[in-house]
């Protein structure tokens, strides 16, 4: 169990790891959840403050990172809003194949650490899964629970290469984590799986639908 603070005023934000069990890489291990997703609306973090019925909604972070970077810097500011949602999908800090590995690891670390902190502060967390090429498989699933509801997004995956990357990662996720159910935020991409998949519209889909009104 992690209980250390090494820097004055905790400038490294080790408090985000408090009381967590760490993986060999130092990611906090998130706990499994069996979410009741039926009837829940999916709301992006950038729209969360406007949501009138958060108890019947889940909040997600499948949006541009600039829209939720403030949560990393001042998470306590957003707890009064987030704790009202039925579920919170763990933050999804982006990483790309062209990034140095150390940056990819840092982004995954931030996603896990902030998810743990939100959990410890009363939020019902659905672990979020993200991946890149097959080289990222060595770390991108670390700290995620087995036999849990998991959340993923298909945003940005609709080129031929993107679809193939999505299918490869989806297959690997199922092989390693044996999810009980998968929440997909975004348009469907066909995958070969027996796992139950629940789809919800992405922020982009919702915005397009409203504009077409």
Tell me, what's the pLDDT at 57? 97
**Rounded-to-integer distance, Cα 146 and Cα 195, Å:** 13
Which pairs count as long-range contacts for 154-160, CB under 8 Å and 24+ apart, including other chains? 154/184, 154/185, 154/186, 154/187, 154/188, 154/189, 154/202, 155/62, 155/185, 155/186, 155/202, 155/204, 157/186, 157/189, 158/187, 158/189
Structure pTM? 0.94
**Rounded-to-integer distance, Cα 49 and Cα 26, Å:** 32
Question: 191 is written with which tokens?
Answer: 């995958």
Dihedral sign (CA 137, 138, 142, 145) = positive
Tell me, what's the pLDDT at 208? 82
Per-residue pLDDT of the chain (213 residues; tens, 9 = 90+): 999 999 999 999 999 999 999 999 999 999 999 999 999 999 999 999 999 999 999 999 999 999 999 999 999 999 999 999 999 999 999 999 999 999 999 999 999 999 999 999 999 999 999 999 999 999 999 999 999 999 999 998 889 898 999 999 999 999 999 999 999 999 999 999 999 999 999 888 887 877 776
**Rounded-to-integer distance, Cα 167 and Cα 189, Å:** 8
Tell me, what's the pLDDT at 156? 85
């Amino acid at each position: 169990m992690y209980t250390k603070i090494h820097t004055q005023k905790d400038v490294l934000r080790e408090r985000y790891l408090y009381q967590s069990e760490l993986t060999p890489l130092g990611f906090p291990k998130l706990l499994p959840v069996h979410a009741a997703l039926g009837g829940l609306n999916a709301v992006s973090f950038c729209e969360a403050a406007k949501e009138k019925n958060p108890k019947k909604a889940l909040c997600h972070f499948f949006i541009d990172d600039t829209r939720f970077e403030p949560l990393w810097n001042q998470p306590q500011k957003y707890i009064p809003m987030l704790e009202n949602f039925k579920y919170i999908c763990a933050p999804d800090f982006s990483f790309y194949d062209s990034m140095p590995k150390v940056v990819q690891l840092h982004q995954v670390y931030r996603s896990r650490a902030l998810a743990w902190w939100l959990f410890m502060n009363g939020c019902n967390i659905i672990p979020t899964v993200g991946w890149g090429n097959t080289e990222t498989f060595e770390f991108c699933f670390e700290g995620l629970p087995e036999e849990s509801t998991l959340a993923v997004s298909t945003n940005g995956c609709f080129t031929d290469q993107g679809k193939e990357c999505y299918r490869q990662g989806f297959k690997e996720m199922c092989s390693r984590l044996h999810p009980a159910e998968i929440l997909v935020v975004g348009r469907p991409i066909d995958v070969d799986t027996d796992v139950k998949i629940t789809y919800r519209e992405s922020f982009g889909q919702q915005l397009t639908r409203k504009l077409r009104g």
